[in-house]
Amino acid sequence: MSNQIQQKTILFTIGRAGYPVTRCLTLAKLLASHRILFAAQEKQKVVLQTLDQQGFAPLSYARNADLKKLITEYEPDVVISDGSDTDIDEGRTLSSLVPVTLHFDDFGEGGKVATRVIQSLYRDDREQVPSHYLLGPSGFIVPEELEPYAGSGLRPGPTLPLPHVVVTFAGEDADNLSYRTLRHLLHLQIPLAITVALHSSYPHSRDDLKLMALGRKQTRIVECDDPIQLISESNLVVCDASYTPYYVAVIGKPCIVIAEDEKEAQHAFPREGNGFIYLGLGRKLKQSHLQNAVMETILHPHRSQRAVKKQLAFKLTANNGNMQQLLEKILKEEAREITR
How many CB atoms sit inside 10 A of residue 198's CB? 20
Phi/psi zone of residue 105: left (φ > 0), alpha (ψ -120 to 50 degrees), beta?
left
Q: How far apart are CA 281 and CA 289, in angstroms?
A: 12
pLDDT the model gives residue 317: 97
DSSP secondary structure letter of residue 40: E
**Mean pLDDT confidence for 319-325:** 97
pLDDT score of 339: 46
What is the model's pLDDT at position 155?
A: 82
pLDDT at residue 49 is higher than 50: yes
Ordered by start, the domain boundaries in the chain are 9-135, 145-316
Query: In this structure, are residues 245 and 276 in contact, taking their beta carbons and an 8 Å threshold?
Result: yes
Q: Using the 8-state DSSP alphabet, how is residue 175 labeled?
A: T
Q: List CB contacts of 49: < 8 A, sequence separation 6 or more.
A: none
pLDDT category of residue 1 using cuts at 50, 70 and 90: very low
**How would you class 304 by CB atoms within 10 Å of its CB: exposed for 0-12, middle for 13-18, buried for 19 or more?**
buried
* % pLDDT > 90, the chain: 86
Neighbour order of strands in the sheet with 193-198: 219-223, 193-198, 164-168, 236-239, 255-259, 277-281
The answer to whether 9-135 and 145-316 have equal CATH topology is yes
Using one digit for the tens of pLDDT, what is the confidence trace for 159-202?
778 999 999 999 789 999 999 999 999 999 899 999 999 998 89
On average, the pLDDT of the chain sits at 93
Please choose, from the candidates 231, 259, 80, 107, the residue with its C-alpha nearest in 3D space to the C-alpha of residue 174.
Answer: 259
Domain 145-316 sits in CATH at: 3.40.50.2000
Query: CATH 3.40.50.11190: does it fit domain 9-135?
Result: yes
Q: Is the pLDDT of residue 39 over 60?
A: yes
Rg (CA), the chain: 21
pLDDT per position as a tens digit, 126-158: 778 899 999 999 999 999 999 999 999 988 766
With cut-offs at 50, 70 and 90, classify the pLDDT of residue 295: very high
Whole-angstrom distance, CA of residue 162 vs CA of residue 224: 22
Instruction: Assign 207 to helix, strand or coil.
Output: helix
Percent of the chain with pLDDT over 70: 96
pLDDT of residue 156: 75
* 104: β partners: 82, 118
